Amino acid sequence: MRGIPEAILQQYAEEAKERELDGYVITLQYPSYLPAMTYADNRELRKELALANGKKSFDNGEHDNQQLIREILELRQEKAKLLGYKNYAEYVLEERMAKSPAAVKSFLDELLEKATPFAKKEIDELRELAKADGIEQMESYDHAYYAEKLRKQKFDLNDEELKPYFRLENVEAAAFGLAGKLYGLTFSERTNIPKYHEDVKVYEVKENGEYKALLYTDYFPRKGKRAGAWMTSYKNQFKRYGENHRPHISIVCNFTKPTADTPSLLTFQEVTTLFHEFGHALHGMLADTQYPSLSGTSVKWDFVELPSQFMENYCYEPEFLQTFARHYKTEEVLPQDKMEKIAQSKNFMEGYQTLRQLGFGMLDMAYHTTTDKIADVKTFETEETKATQLYPSNPETAVSPSFSHIFQGGYSAGYYSYKWAEVLDADAFQYFKENGIYNEEIAAKFKKLLSSGGTKDPMELYREFRGREPKVESLLQRAFG
């Protein structure tokens, strides 16, 4: 367990204790898996974990999903054909901003061309570090470990050093405070409203003293709760008989639970995750439409990530960070040089991350534009993502069988929308950066965009906000300078 910070070891020890075992237990849940992949000096341990993670539902066992993938794709193709479309992607994209598979392919190819040289340069830097440790051939399970080493070398930033400054309660209060500055919202906890678990909190949201929404927060892992983070609407906003029915919204995450000695402390990535989901929540809470089917996040799928990704930008602004990044023991503000390095680190490994996301997007489009039956899932996946791969492919692992976003989570023929929305959020935040990150006039226009839900074509909404259509150059400038 050499290299793994003490706080993480304590987490692993508590997991073992809960299972009535000695020593440590590392699970494949993200808050447990990622720290081990990032900090464990033991390369064999990283390899073992990566193989276990990559074999999820890809082991020819009882829970193998390969045949399910084939059946899902065949049924989707049959549905598209019955409705008069060439393929499932064509059917889906008719109701998206992108409009067609050709437009998505062109978008992904353009980003691939621009990002690949940067990604290769980044990986070359990691390879130099690995060579110093005697590793001639880097594997995918080495990436997080050496990326953390390089991050520390370049920015002297370490998640475990930063975590004491990001107490969950402070991060949440900062998100609430930002919503107050931008949109005039206030949040007060209510203890007399029923909730589904003791870890959940309920907040009454008001705008200028008037009831606006209920917000449920559910932050910690537990048995039976799925991994990841998401926003849910239990009740959409709508108007009927002269009454504006306000929404009930939740944000769900899987942050490290507090212990007897330590509060819940977030990695910086988890800070951005909270702001991301809070952005979705704001989309729901600010809704002001006639019909529930057009309320809040009920927008075209490649538009839905704009509000969430937009909020993440604030996490990299020293002007904002200094308002809440305080050490949980001493109340010392995160040093200015650290805040500046966080801002500088925003685009760290951006080339690699871009290619990774493009790979997922291309795989998704390939699955949903092919009219042929998939003979072998692994072969198909390898072929369709080879242009984005920076490490050797392992024949024992595959992404597709656990790619829940596109087979279960609603992102089928829509995974490209993450990068599409990045163009929107980069362009939108650039507007604020040029005029002040708390600019009231621009915030009012963005609030109108949020409150409009799906009542207008999203490009029309964006033009009303920005005065023009978004530019891909805004993302490229932010990512690569």
Burial class (CB in 10 A: 0-12, 13-18, 19+), 415: buried
Side chain identity, residue 252 = V
DSSP-derived letter for residue 246 is: P
What is the rounded CA–CA span in Å between residue 209 and residue 219?
Answer: 27
Are the C-beta atoms of residues 283 and 296 closer than 8 Å to each other?
yes
Side chain identity, residue 83 = L
What is the rounded CA–CA span in Å between residue 256 and residue 264?
Answer: 6
Helix (H) or strand (E) holding 185: strand 185-190
Are the C-beta atoms of residues 341 and 318 closer than 8 Å to each other?
no
Residue 278 contacts by C-beta under 8 Å, 6 or more apart in sequence? 175, 179, 251, 308, 311
Among candidate residues 148, 277, 305, 422, the one labeled active-site is 277
DSSP-derived letter for residue 21 is: -
Is 277 annotated as catalytic?
Answer: yes
**DSSP 3-state helix, strand, coil percentages of the chain (rounded to 5)?**
55, 10, 35
Q: Tokens for 178?
A: 């930002």
DSSP one-letter string for 227-279: SS-EEEEEE--EEETTEEEPPEEEEE--PPPP-SS---B--HHHHHHHHHHHH
Residues marked as catalytic: 277
